[in-house]
Amino acid sequence: MAGDEMLESLIHDVADWPQPGVGFKDITPLLADPAAFTEVIDRLAGHFIDREVTKVVGIEARGFLIGAPVALRLGAGFVPARKPGKLPRPTETVTYDLEYGTDSLEIHTDAIEPGEQVAIIDDVLATGGTAAAAVELVERLGGNLVGLGFVIELGFLGGAARIAGAAHTSLVTYR
């Protein structure tokens, strides 16, 4: 199967989960397929390979699963952006809107040195609130954001507009 077709066939649509009206994109079949998982990591890492990235920020929780192997592939460090109360040392915090509810994102204040080249990785770009919060966290710490990478973009939710100042790439886009 060709790349994009293989990835799409391994992204399962779950209607009305976790609440009515949400079409949830389940990537667990993709993660369970070594060829597809490898392709995802290779393509996202390939996008940033010439950008001298020193830190990859992965967004809790599925962004960890994608961001950590991308970081290793780039020879960069991995930085978790976590839900409130999970990180043990001083943090920066940003509160944002989700497709379903509101939440906050935190990052350790010493996780990124000013001037570091930073990429942000998550599984899905939906409304863009989460990604915009991650961008703000990186900027507050003085990181130089080279771009964001997503496995999936729900284009019809317009999330790209929320991160309009930053370059982003998505492997599979639903319009």
Which residues in 96-115 contact ligand AMP (CB under 6 A)? Answer: 98-99
Catalytic member of 5, 51, 60, 62 = 62
DSSP string, the chain: --HHHHHHHTSEEEET-SSTT-EEEE-HHHHT-HHHHHHHHHHHHHHHTTTT--EEEEETTHHHHHHHHHHHHHT-EEEEEB-TT--SS-EEEEEEE-SSSEEEEEEETTSS-TT-EEEEEEEEESSSHHHHHHHHHHHHTT-EEEEEEEEEEEGGGTHHHHTTTS-EEEEEEE-
Q: Report the residue number, 54 or 130, with the smaller CB distance to ligand AMP.
A: 130
Q: Report the residue number, 13 or 52, with the smaller CB distance to ligand AMP.
A: 13
| Member of 11, 45, 59, 111 binding ligand AMP (CB under 6 A) | 59
68 binds ligand AMP (CB under 6 A): no
| Interacting residues toward ligand AMP by CB under 6 A | 22-25, 59, 62, 98-99, 122-131, 154, 159
